[in-house]
Amino acid sequence: MNADWLRYSCQVALPHFGETAQTRLQQANVLVVGAGGLGCPVAQYLAAAGVGTLGIADFDIVSISNLHRQVLFGPDDAGKKKAAIACAKLQTQNPSIKLIPYDVEVNADNVIALIEPYDIIVDCTDNFDTRYLINDACVMTGKPVVYGAIYQFEGQAAVWNITQPDGSKSPNYRDLFPQVNATQIPDCTDGGVLPTLAGIIGCIQANEAIKYITQTGNLLAGKVMIFDALTMQSRVIKIGKTTNTHIHSLKQSADIPSLTVAEVRQALLDNSLDLVDIRTDQERDEIDIGGVHFEADELDENMEYLTDARVKVLYCSSGKRSAEAVKYIKQQSPDAKVYSLAGGLKAWFEYVES
């Protein structure tokens, strides 16, 4: 056995796997979207398993707060682009595979071209707009998607849009979640996440991708697996055999009005805007930079205030919830003078300390 195959000898030795399955891996093209807590273990194990071409799409940079769960990166990587760093490190781990970094923000204009060269897409994103966009693009182009999501102590995994023997398609993300009110759901920065949970769900995603490529085992298609890291219990919920959704076009994401920390601080000196804190009561008790406070699920109750003549700048810990809130308000009242604090409190305190 030559050196290229020697490293894969233990998986080649598996019953019903063999050289045929390994060859399928080496001929496969897989795109991982998101090089964060899920994307790091997914990419590491797909690279180690010998996936022939591995694309990694992420436009973000490494920050110190990522390191507890994004295990591809170290302190020296802070401030560097995730996609490029991830590909460079994975290339060192497995020189025989092809790695392609995409330093782009996935949007309706580029998603079809991005996924086109790939056999399967692994969704490791952390926001709902991109998750729906990837799902819809893959449904339109017939690509399977391996889905994963984590929050605090719980994770989910599934495989969407599989072509079945009769030609029908298995359920996709919109069959499980037709729509989500993202303003009420904190992300990992705001709500926290157990670092090992990212590894567990990421490994499950990599496992499903390998099973799909090698045609081994039963996929999490038509069902979703839910895992609780506190109790170590998991359950698989059946969604159905075939999809009930029909997707024919991509929804364009509207630009969300935002202001930088510097712009907001100057406007506060001029008394030309109001700060609005939409975090939870607990978050407000821990850190308070002032402004009106009500939680994200109370937007409707405060719509009259939010849409009056005075400028409002909404903030949360990372800027993601406030962006979703601004989007929601603008949908209800397009002329509302509402903005999101770009980067949230994280950017606020980094500015103060600089």
pLDDT, tens digit, for every residue of 13-37? 899 899 999 999 999 999 999 999 9
* CATH superfamily to which 3-238 belongs: NAD(P)-binding Rossmann-like Domain (3.40.50.720)
By percentage, how much of the chain surpasses pLDDT 70? Answer: 94
**Band (126; pLDDT cuts 50, 70, 90):** confident
Q: For 308-334, what is each residue's pLDDT tens digit? A: 999 999 999 888 889 889 988 998 899
Q: For 130-187, what is each residue's pLDDT tens digit? A: 999 999 999 999 999 999 999 889 999 999 999 999 999 999 999 999 876 555 555 6
Bridge partners, 340 (sequence order):
258, 314
Question: Token pair for residue 240?
Answer: 């159905």
- Residue 42's pLDDT is what? 98
- The CATH 3.40.250.10 portion of the chain extends over 258-353
**Residue 254 pLDDT greater than 80, yes or no:** no
Indicate the average pLDDT of the chain.
Answer: 90
State the amino acid at position 344 in one-letter form.
G
pTM of the predicted protein model:
0.79
**Is residue 87 annotated as part of the catalytic site, yes or no?**
no
**Band (105; pLDDT cuts 50, 70, 90):** confident
Listed in sequence order, the DSSP H helices in the chain are 3-6, 9-12, 18-27, 39-49, 82-93, 111-115, 128-141, 173-176, 188-191, 195-214, 261-269, 281-286, 303-306, 320-332, 344-353
**Band (353; pLDDT cuts 50, 70, 90):** low
Q: From 303, 314, 302, 304, select the one nearest 273 (Cα to Cα).
A: 314
**Is residue 188 annotated as part of the catalytic site, yes or no?**
yes
Average pLDDT in the 261-290 region? 91
Q: For 283-294, what is each residue's pLDDT tens digit? A: 888 888 999 999
CB-based contacts of 324: which residues, under 8 Å, 6+ apart? Answer: 128, 182, 183, 296
Average pLDDT in the 225-251 region? 92
Q: For 187-215, what is each residue's pLDDT tens digit? A: 656 567 888 999 999 999 999 999 999 99
- Residue 35's pLDDT is what? 94
- The CATH 3.40.50.720 portion of the chain extends over 3-238
CATH number of 258-353: 3.40.250.10
- How many alpha carbons fall within 13 Å on the CB side of residue 334? 2
The one catalytic residue among 40, 124, 138, 316: 316
The one catalytic residue among 40, 124, 138, 188: 188
